[in-house]
């Protein structure tokens, strides 16, 4: 069976996916992106061609990975579904899209991707979904090759996973930003928190997070909490977040 691949998009996910597929011996036929500069950079890196117009698929099993933002995926599906590709989106939140004209699937790596930082694909779980057993099998084979960790997950469960990922990643990163700003205001290097950050993340993967929770709210140390609030005088956003998180921890029983 002739199997071909194409990628739509040139953001962080598209870049990392193209690089990993190339490392694993897969040949990417083309990169298609509205941003020609970044698209051509990715195509050059993975030794594929860059196309300004999406061509008609020239193979029976041609997987097209749509690695764009969620708001544009549905429109692109409608635009591409008559071109002969198997359409695969990589969103955590969008459901498996339906089409009467082609096969569709989901290929969702549970990871945060930054343009300047490498990731360890061996630690990434890839969630796949398709109503077609043939396409599901192809996605599972690809996922196992790229990471070795694969899970079949329904659209409903994947949406809840994505929500949990926002709490575990995006909101935590926002807390890092607030911590950095607080330190910067006192001319204290952010690097002093590195060991704490790494150990906290490690602890949370070894045991249940609340089992390793520490700090004044866990101890119900109201004297320290009051002192912290005084230090946050004039910092309304940080004080609001401190109050919300403290109230949450004070109300937790386990």
Question: Does residue 219 sit in the same domain as residue 100?
Answer: no
Compute CA distances 27 → 31, 32, 244, whole Å. 11, 15, 49
d(CA 56, CA 1): 19
Same domain, 138 and 164: no
Closest CA to 81 of 59, 57, 50: 57
Range of the structural domain that residue 172 is part of: 159-251
92 and 111 housed in the same domain:
yes
End-to-end CA distance of the chain: 53
Report the alpha-carbon distance of residue 138 to residue 3 in Å, rounded. Answer: 9
Q: What CATH number has the domain bearing residue 73?
A: 3.40.50.720
Distance CA 89, CA 105 (A): 7
Q: Please give the pLDDT value at position 116.
A: 87
Q: Is residue 140 located within the same domain as residue 181?
A: no
Q: How far apart are CA 223 and CA 110, in angstroms?
A: 40
Q: Are residues 122 and 165 in the same domain?
A: no
Indicate the pairing of strand 125-129 with strand 61-66. unpaired
99 to 72, 126, 181: CA distances (angstroms): 16, 23, 48
pLDDT higher than 80, residue 90: yes
- One domain for residues 66 and 137: yes
Q: Single out the residue in 95, 127, 153 at which a domain terminates.
A: 153
What value does the mean pLDDT take over residues 150-157?
98
Tell whether 140 and 179 lie within a shared domain. no
Residue range 195-238, pLDDT digits in tens? 999 999 999 999 999 999 999 999 999 999 999 999 999 999 99
Residue 68 sits in the same domain as residue 183 = no
Residue for token pair 């870049």: 15
Residues 25 and 139 in one domain: yes
**63 plus 170 within the same structural domain:** no
Average pLDDT over residues 65-81: 96
pLDDT tens-digit profile of 12-37?
Answer: 999 999 999 999 999 999 999 999 99
pLDDT band (50, 70, 90) for residue 254: low
Separation between Cα atoms, residue 28 and residue 179, nearest integer Å: 41
Query: CATH no. for residue 170?
Result: 1.10.1040.20
Instruction: Please tell me the predicted confidence (pLDDT) of residue 1.
Output: 65
Residues 23 and 130 in one domain: yes
Going 4 to 7 to 13 to 19, the CA torsion angle's sign is positive
Q: Do 160 and 151 form a contact (C-beta atoms < 8 A)?
A: no
Of 123, 153, 183, the last residue of a domain is: 153
* Residue 13: CB atoms within 10 Å: 21
Provide the pLDDT for residue 81: 95
Sign, Cα dihedral of 163, 164, 169, 173: positive
Please give the average per-residue pLDDT across 137-164, as a whole number.
97
The residue from 130, 153, 176 where one domain ends is 153
Number of domains present in the structure of the chain: 2
Same domain (yes/no): 117, 174: no
Tell me the mean pLDDT in the region 108-136: 96
- Residue 227, pLDDT score: 98
């Amino acid at each position: 069976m002739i199997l071909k691949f194409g990628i739509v998009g040139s953001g962080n996910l598209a870049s990392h996916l193209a690089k990993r597929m190339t490392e694993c011996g897969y040949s990417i036929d083309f990169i298609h992106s509205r941003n020609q500069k970044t698209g051509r950079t990715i195509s050059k890196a993975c030794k594929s061609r860059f196309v300004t117009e999406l061509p008609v698929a020239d193979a029976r099993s041609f997987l097209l990975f749509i690695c764009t933002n969620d708001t544009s995926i549905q429109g692109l599906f409608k635009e591409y579904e008559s071109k002969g590709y198997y359409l695969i989106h990589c969103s955590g939140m969008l459901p498996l899209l339906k089409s009467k004209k082609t096969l569709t699937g989901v290929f969702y790596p549970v990871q945060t991707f930054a343009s300047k930082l490498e990731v360890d694909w061996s630690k990434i779980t890839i969630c796949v979904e398709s109503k077609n057993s043939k396409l599901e099998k192809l996605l599972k084979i690809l996922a196992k090759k790229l990471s070795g960790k694969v899970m079949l997950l329904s659209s409903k469960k994947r949406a809840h996973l994505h929500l949990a990922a926002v709490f575990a990643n995006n909101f935590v990163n926002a807390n890092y930003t607030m911590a950095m700003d607080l330190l910067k205001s006192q001319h204290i290097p952010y690097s002093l928190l590195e060991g704490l950050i790494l150990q906290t993340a490690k602890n949370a993967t070894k045991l249940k997070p609340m089992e390793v929770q520490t700090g004044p709210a866990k101890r119900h140390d109201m004297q320290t909490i009051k002192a912290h609030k005084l230090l946050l005088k004039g910092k309304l956003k940080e004080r609001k977040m401190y109050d919300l998180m403290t109230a949450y921890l004070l109300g937790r029983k386990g």
